[in-house]
Amino acid sequence: MRAALLALLLAPLATGGGDPIAADLVPSCAPWDGPAFSVVAPLAPLGKDLAADTLGITIWKSPAIPSRTTFTFSRTPGAVPDSGSAVLKSGTGYERLTGTATFEKVDAESPADGAFDLTAKDGRRFTARFHATWKHMRIFCG
């Protein structure tokens, strides 16, 4: 009974439901010095044990995505991701995550809505919807 109640309470989090978490959108650079953008989200809304952790999703494309698009992040040995990266920053350092991030649309002047479903090497899963607003800053790539 207790496990069923816990599962029912956590269902919106597990499916990315509920209120979106607030995030920042920041300009960035792709590894080849091309345009990119990052979503930076504090993970405190997903649980007290994550209060100091931050999720960073960097997409190696111009922030001009006109319709719903999903990006996949893998941990294939030796593979170089072509769409971006997802990283968990915690008190113990940085860890590359696998999974997906979906954006409804992205442009350089408007907030972006989306969702992520990412997994750490130890099996921890981070799933939520987000609403990200731009923190404009000058970035020089190259």
- Between CA 67 and CA 81 the distance in angstroms is 22
- The domain tally of the chain equals 1
Question: Which tens digit of pLDDT belongs to each residue from 60-88?
Answer: 999 999 999 999 998 775 555 668 899 99
Nearest to 135, CA basis, from 30, 10, 38: 38
- Report yes or no on 11 lying in a domain: no
In a domain, 113, yes or no: yes
**63 domain residue, yes or no:** yes
In a domain, 7, yes or no: no
Position 4 in a domain? no
**What tokens appear for 85 in the block?**
């990266």
Q: What's the CA gap between 109 and 8, in Å, rounded? A: 38
Question: In terms of residue numbers, what domain contains 112?
Answer: 22-134
Residue 13 lies in a domain: no
Which residues of 30-124 form beta strands (DSSP E)? 35-42, 54-59, 69-73, 84-90, 93-96, 98-103, 112-119
Rounded to two decimals, what is the model's pTM? 0.80
- Tell me: the pLDDT tens digits for 6-63? 233 333 334 345 789 999 999 999 888 889 999 999 988 877 777 778 999 999 999 9
